[in-house]
Amino acid sequence: MKTPILALAPMAGITDWPMRTLCAEQGCGSTTTEMVSAQGFLQAPNTLNVYKYLLAVHPDEPRPKVQIFGHETGYMAEAAARLSDTGLFSGVDINMGCPAQKVVTSGSGSALMRDLSQCAAIIGAVRKATDLPLSVKMRLGWDDAHINAVELAQIAQDLGADLITVHGRTRMQQYAGSANWLEIAKVKAAVSIPVLCNGDIDSAQSALKALEVTGCDGVAIARGALGNPFVFAEISAALRKEAYIPPTDDEVVATAIRHGQMMLAWKGEHSAVLEMRKHLCWYIHGKRGAARLRTRITAADTMQEVFDLLAQFAALQKSAD
C-alpha cells in the first residue's frame, strides 16, 4: 500500500504561507492556499496585492495548490490559466464545497453541487486551461436528500481531474453533526483517482480510523491543525508504526513564536499582532492559565509583548509540573 497523503485542507484566513510552512515541517505532504475568487482575482485592481497577501507563496515552502472558487466557466478557466502561469503553484483545486451564504448565493462553492452540469462545464474548462494537477474539493451533497458526491467524483474523473477531496458533510449541515466517512467510502469505491477523506480528523487515532473506514488515499485536515501543526507528525509516526512524543510546552510556545515571527516579517507589526491573536489562542487552548493569557494577548499592541507573554506562559507550565 502506498503511504497515505497527509494534506492540510484549505481554510480562508488561515492557510497562508506561515501556517503552510509550519505544517509542511511537521510532515504535511500537500498544502493549499486559502480560496480565492476567480472573478475577484481577474478583476482585482491591483493584482500584485493578491500575490502579496491572499496568494503569497514563500520561496522556501513546498509549492501549494491554489484553490479557486466561482460559478462562471470562463472566469474559472481564465483564473486557472493565469495562476498556473505564475509557476507559484503545484496544482489547481476547485472549490465545490464552501457552505458560506455569500458564496452559495452567487452560485459558487457547494451551490454547484445542485447543478452537476455546471460542475462538469467548470471542471472541463479548467482542465483545458491548466497542465497542472487538477483537484476538486466537494461535500457529500446539498442536503441529506441530495447526496451526489459519487456522481460528481465520477464526472470529475471522466473530465481529467487528478484527485478528489470529500468533506463528509452536506452543505445544509455546515459544520454540525459528525462527518460521515461511510459516504466518503462510497466515493473512494466509485473512482480510480486518489480520494482524500476530510472531516473531523484531528489525531493519529482519527486519521487511522478514517483511512480504515474509507479506504481513502489520504486525509485532509483543517480544524485539527489549528494551533497544532504537530498533528501531521503524530499521524506520520503512527503510519510508520513509531512511537510519537508530543511537543513539550516549550516546543509549542517556540512554534507559536516562530509563527508570529513569520507573520511579523510578512505583514508588519499591526496586522501581525491582530492576525496572530486567533492562532495563539489555538496554540494555548486547554493549557493552564490559557484564559488569562488570552485576555492579555488580546490587549497586546506589539509582537514583542506577545512573545514575552508566551515566554511567561511557558514558564508557568513548567512551574505547574
Q: Considering the rule CB under 6 A, would residue 57 count as an interface residue with ligand FMN? A: no
Look at strands 91-96 and 65-69 and give their pairing: parallel
Q: Considering the rule CB under 6 A, would residue 206 count as an interface residue with ligand FMN? A: no
Q: Considering the rule CB under 6 A, would residue 64 count as an interface residue with ligand FMN? A: no
If you ran DSSP here, which 8-state letter would residue 83 be given? Answer: H
Of 211 and 309, which has the nearer Cβ to ligand FMN? 211
d(CA 250, CA 314): 6
> Which member of 23, 98, 119, 216 is catalytic?
98
Q: Considering the rule CB under 6 A, would residue 231 count as an interface residue with ligand FMN? A: no
Ordered alpha helix ranges (H), the chain:
17-25, 38-43, 47-52, 73-85, 101-105, 116-129, 149-158, 181-190, 204-214, 231-239, 249-267, 269-284, 290-299, 303-319
Among the listed ranges 82-90, 218-226, 247-255, 280-288, the one in contact with ligand FMN (CB under 6 A) is 218-226
DSSP 1-18: -PPPEEEEPP-TTT-SHH
Q: Considering the rule CB under 6 A, would residue 221 count as an interface residue with ligand FMN? A: yes
Q: Which three cell numbers stand for residue 95?
A: 472549490
Q: Kindly state the smallest distance separating residue 97's Cβ from ligand FMN, in Å.
A: 5
Q: Which of 261, 310, 260 is nearest to 289 (CA)?
A: 310
Choose which of 4, 97, 141, 229 interacts with ligand FMN (CB under 6 A): 97
d(CA 292, CA 231): 26
Choose which of 20, 65, 71, 167 interacts with ligand FMN (CB under 6 A): 167
Among the listed ranges 91-99, 128-136, 153-161, 260-268, the one in contact with ligand FMN (CB under 6 A) is 91-99
Choose which of 199, 218, 227, 260 interacts with ligand FMN (CB under 6 A): 199
d(CA 189, CA 183): 10
Q: Considering the rule CB under 6 A, would residue 35 count as an interface residue with ligand FMN? A: yes
Q: Give the residue carrying C-alpha cell 507589526.
A: 269
Q: Kindly state the smallest distance separating residue 109's Cβ from ligand FMN, in Å.
A: 8
User: Footprint of ligand FMN on this chain (CB under 6 A)?
Assistant: 9-12, 14, 34-35, 67, 95, 97-98, 137, 167, 198-201, 221-224
Q: Which residues are tagged catalytic? A: 98
